[in-house]
Amino acid sequence: MCSPLLVLQRPYCLTVLRRSCPSVHSHSRQQHTSGRTSLLDKKLPGVNDCPHNCLCSREVEFSYKNPRFLSQFVSSQTGMILPRNITKLCMKKQRRLASTIKRARHMGFMPYTHTQEEYLSDAKLY
Amino acid sequence: MVHYELAVIFRTLGKSDLPAALRSACGTLLAQGSIVREMESRGERRLPYKMGAHKERFTHGRYVIFDFDAPPQSVGLILSQIHQNRDVIRASLVKSESP
């Protein structure tokens, strides 16, 4: 009957719901989004296509004392913790990582609003 | 006895002042009945953000991590005494992640 819902998530835009078959509620929305197909097909800079979970597969232990490691999971421009769709971590690891980063920031090992200059040239997650 | 870690950021001290500061911090720990396992220096470097302590603002500091076992009742006393130390910019006590 109805095709399944296509939920596209982009880090900078609001979630866009696209239904293949028009219904009463989404008719206007579909008309609005149809013109944006070409934009959504292009690869936006914040997209991580890697299917692997980089921490679980390697059994890495992280702590607040290692800000260099934690800075990989933080935006290089704003210092914000990257969301799960970018880091590709399982919920457990993501929560632990987030609390470790917050701990490192509070204890004075990591900055809040940026990444340290020495770490900017490190290898990126994606 | 619980395994704790105390991450202290000392102000930039000269060669003559640093051992005294470390000794006083260790002394505080030992006075409360803790067994200090390790004292690790993480070097002197620029702080990730300006920090205020003792009515001063700091941009550089020395990071030292104390690894110790202590009775949980003494944690409050240890922290209050460490914070009173004028050489300490910031001190955080956490339960150790390692067993």
pLDDT at A15 over 50: no
pLDDT tens digits, residue range A33-63?
444 455 555 555 566 666 666 777 777 889 9
pLDDT at A98 over 50: yes
Nearest to A122 by CA among A81, A83, A79, A73: A73
Number of H helices, E strands in chain B: 2, 4
Q: For residue B98, what pLDDT is reported?
A: 77
| Close Cβ partners of B44 (under 8 Å, ≥ 6 residues apart) | B12, B60, B61, B62, B63
Q: CATH number of the domain at B69, please.
A: 3.30.70.60
- At B97, the pLDDT band (50, 70, 90 cuts) reads confident
- Interface pTM, i.e. ipTM: 0.92
* Beta carbons of B92 and A111 less than 8 Å apart: no
- Chain A contact for B49 (CB, 8 A cutoff): yes
pLDDT tens digits, residue range B52-91?
999 999 999 999 999 999 999 999 999 999 999 999 999 9
Q: What is the pTM of this model?
A: 0.76
Q: Where do runs of H (alpha helix) occur along A18-80?
A: 27-34, 37-41, 67-70
CB nearest A111 (choices: B48, B61, B92): B48
- Chain A contact for B7 (CB, 8 A cutoff): yes
Over residues A76-95, the mean pLDDT reads 92
pLDDT tens digits, residue range B22-43?
999 999 999 999 999 999 999 9
Domains: count for chain B: 1
Domain that holds residue B35: 2-95
B8, B97, B98: best to mutate for the A interface, most A CBs within 10 A: B97
pLDDT at A67 over 60: yes
Q: For residue A57, what pLDDT is reported?
A: 74
Q: How many angstroms separate the CA atoms of B28 and B53, rounded? A: 19
Minimal Cα distance from B52: which residue of A?
A: A108
Q: For residue A12, what pLDDT is reported?
A: 43
Q: How many angstroms separate the CA atoms of B59 and A40, rounded? A: 44
Q: How many angstroms separate the CA atoms of B79 and B67, rounded? A: 14
* Beta carbons of B7 and A109 less than 8 Å apart: yes
Mean pLDDT of chain A: 73
Residues of B (56-95) whose Cβ lies below 8 Å from A:
61, 63, 65, 89-90, 92, 94
By the 8 A CB rule, do B4 and B94 touch?
yes
